Amino acid sequence: MSILSTIKTSCRDCYKCVRHCPVKAIRFSMGHAEIIDERCIKDGRCVLICPQDAKVIRNDTGVVKNYLQNEDFVIASLAPSFVAAFPNINPGQLFNALKSLGFSLVRETAEAAELVALEHAQLVKEEKKAIITSSCPAVNALIYKYYPQHIPYLAPVVSPMVAHARLLKKEFEDEHPRVVFIGPCIAKKAEREENEIIDEVDVALTFDELKEWFVQENIDLNQFPTETEGLSSVQWARAFPVEGGLLKTGDFDTGILSQESVVITGIERCQRFLENFENEKEGLKVVEMMSCEGGCIDGPLLKSPLSLYQRRRKIIEFSQKNTGSHHTKKILELPSLRREFNPHLIPQPQPSEEELRKILNLTGKFTPQDELNCGACGYDTCREKAIAVFQGLAEAEMCIPYMRARAESFSSFLIAVTPNGIILVDENLRIVDMNPALRQIFDLKGRLMVGKILDEFIDPSIFVEVRRTKKAMSQEIHYPQYHNVYVKLSVFYLEKSGLLMGVFVDLTKQKDQEKMMEEIRGKTLEKAQQVITNQMLVAQEIASLLGETTAETKSLLSKLMKILRGENVEE
C-alpha cells in the first residue's frame, strides 16, 4: 500500500492539494485527485490542507503489534521533538507508557543525531565545496528527484533515524532487535524504503499513530511514573528538531552574521535556493535544509497545542536541563554513518508550442489576454496547467473560470429561450430576477420588477410555504388581474444560494380550449335534445307502424346524451 493515498469518494475536486503541493505530485483523473508516488516527496502538505480529509496516511501500527505479539526484541527510537508532541507530560511517563505497550527498550534518537552532526562537521573539513545537510528526507527527495545536479553537494550521511537503527542493532546484535522510529514526519516512512538504506529501520511510526494506539489501549499517560532510565546523556542533539539544531550540535558557527553557514526551512524556500544554487553557494560551507517551517517541531503529524515558538522553547529547555544519565553500551567499532544518494529522474515531457496552443484553446484561451493565470486550478499560470494536461497530470476542465462561464452561458441560454416563466426571489421574498417568458405571460413589458416585494406582483402564499418547509410545491393558479392568465406554478428552494425559484407553465390556451370544448359540448347536447324531442313526436304519430324500433331509437339517443355529458353509460 502506498504511504499516501486518496479516498476518491471524499475528494471534491477543489484542487487545494494541487495548489499547495510544492512539486505538483497530484494527478487529476475523472475529477478526483491521485497522489503520484514517484513524484511525491512526502512533505505531507496535502494531508494537512485537504478540507475533506480525503488524504490517507498508511498506518503501520499493525506491523509493530505483530513484532510485539511474536515477542521480538523491539526498541522504540523516539525523535527529539516528542517533548513538543506530548507537552503536558513528563518524558519519563511517555517512556514508561511505551514499555507498557510491549517495547523492550525506549531510546532517544538524539543519541545518533549527535554522531550525525559530527559526521557533517568532518565532511565540511574534508570538502572544498558547500555541503547540504541530509537529515531531512523530504529535502533529500526534492534534490534527488528534481535537482539531481546538486546531489554532489548533498552530504552522503544517513539521517539520525537510520544512524540510530544502525547503532542500536550493533549495540544489541545478540538480541536481533527490531527498531521502530517514532516521530512527526511522513517522509520518514518513505526514507526507510529507499533502496540505498532499505529496511535498516524496521518501522517508522508517526506521533499520530502512537497517540491513536494509546487511545485504543485506554492508556492514560498521566498514570505512569516520571522516573526512567531511558534518557540519554546527550545535550544539544536534542535541539535537532529546531532550525539550526544540526549546526549547533556540530559546533558550526551559527551566529546571525555567519557567512559560512545558512539555515533554510520551508520547502518553497528550499526550492528557490536550489534554483539559484550555483550563485548562492559562493562562500558557504554548510547549508542546513528542512522542509517544514521552523524545523521538525512543525512536522505534519506533530499536532501540538503549543505554538511554534512555544515548541521551540520547550525543545531548547529540554536540551539544556535534562542531560540524562544513560550512556550507550561501549561499542568497539561504530557503524558507518555514510550512504549514497542516486538520482530518481522524473519524466517531464514538454509540449511543442502548437500542442500547447491546442490545449489552451480547449478552455477558450486563444490569445495571451485570455490567459487569466488566476491559479484556481492549482497551477500558477494557464500555460503551466496546459503543460500538466499534456503530461497527463491535469484535465482541461480544471479551468474554473472557463467552466463557470460555460455553465453560466448555458444556463442563461436555457432560461432565456424556455417558454416557461422563471422568477427568482430571496428569502425576504424580494424579486432577484425573472426571464423574458414570464414578462410575456403576464404582459410586464416596460415594468421594473427586480427589487420589488413579491406580493406587489402576485400572491406569495406558495413561496412562503416553500420557504418554511424547504420542500417543492406545485399548484394551478388563476390570475384574473393579468388578463385571466392560468398557470401551473412550481416553487423550489435552492439550498446553496438560499433563493426560491418559481416556474410558471402557461395554461391559458389550454384553459381556453377546454372552455371552448365545453361550449361545443353544451351546444351539441342542446341540438341532440331537440332531435330526440322531434323524434319522439314523430314516433308517437307512427307508433303503430314502428313499434319497438322507436323505443330502441330513444334508448340510443339517451346514451349519446350521457356520453356527451361525460356520464357513465351502462351496457
Beta-carbon contacts of 37 under 8 Å, excluding residues fewer than 6 positions away, are 2, 3, 4
**Structural contact between residues 284 and 302, judged by C-beta atoms closer than 8 angstroms:** no
Question: What is the residue whose three cell numbers read 528534481?
Answer: 146
Q: What share of the chain is helix, strand, coil (3-state, %, to 5)?
A: 45, 15, 40
| Distance set, CA 85 to CA 39, 210, 221, 474 (Å) | 29, 11, 13, 59
The more confident residue out of 345 and 75 is 75
Tell me whether residue 280 is exposed, middle or buried, using C-beta atoms within 10 angstroms of its C-beta: 0 to 12, 13 to 18, 19 or more. middle
Q: Among 80, 145, 152, which residue's Cα sits nearest to residue 123?
A: 152
Q: What are phi and psi of 569, to 5 degrees?
A: -120, 125
Residue 569 pLDDT grade (very low, low, confident, very high; cuts 50, 70, 90): low
More confident residue, 386 or 557: 386
Least confident of 106-120, 123-137, 232-246: 232-246
Q: Is the pLDDT of residue 458 over 60?
A: yes
Compute the half-sphere exposure of residue 511: CA atoms within 13 Å on the CB side of its CA.
Answer: 15
The per-residue pLDDT for range 346-399, each reduced to its tens digit, is: 988 999 999 999 999 988 899 988 888 998 899 999 999 999 999 999 988 888
Residues 6+ apart with CB under 8 A from 220: none
Average pLDDT over residues 453-473: 94
Hey, what's the cell of 515? 372552455
pLDDT at 528: 66
143, 132 Cβ separation under 8 angstroms: yes
Is the pLDDT at 330 greater than 70? The verdict is no
Question: pLDDT band at 320, cuts 50/70/90?
Answer: confident
156 phi/psi in degrees, rounded to 5: -75, 55
Q: Residue 234 — very low, low, confident or very high, per pLDDT cuts 50/70/90? A: confident
Q: What is the pLDDT of residue 473?
A: 95
Given the C-alpha cell 530518481, which residue does it identify?
Answer: 344
Q: Does the pLDDT at position 536 exceed 70?
A: no
pTM of the model: 0.73
Q: Look at residue 476 and give its three-state secondary structure.
A: strand
Domains and CATH numbers, the chain: 59-321 (no CATH), 350-407 (no CATH), 418-506 (3.30.450.20), 510-565 (no CATH)
Q: Check residue 7 and give its pLDDT.
A: 92
The one-letter amino acid code at 364 reads: G
Q: Which residue has the cell 537529515?
A: 135
pLDDT for 319 = 86
Question: What does the alpha-carbon distance between residue 412 and residue 391 come to, in Å, rounded to a whole number?
Answer: 35
Which residues lie closer than 8 Å to 293 by C-beta, 6 or more apart?
A: 265, 266, 308
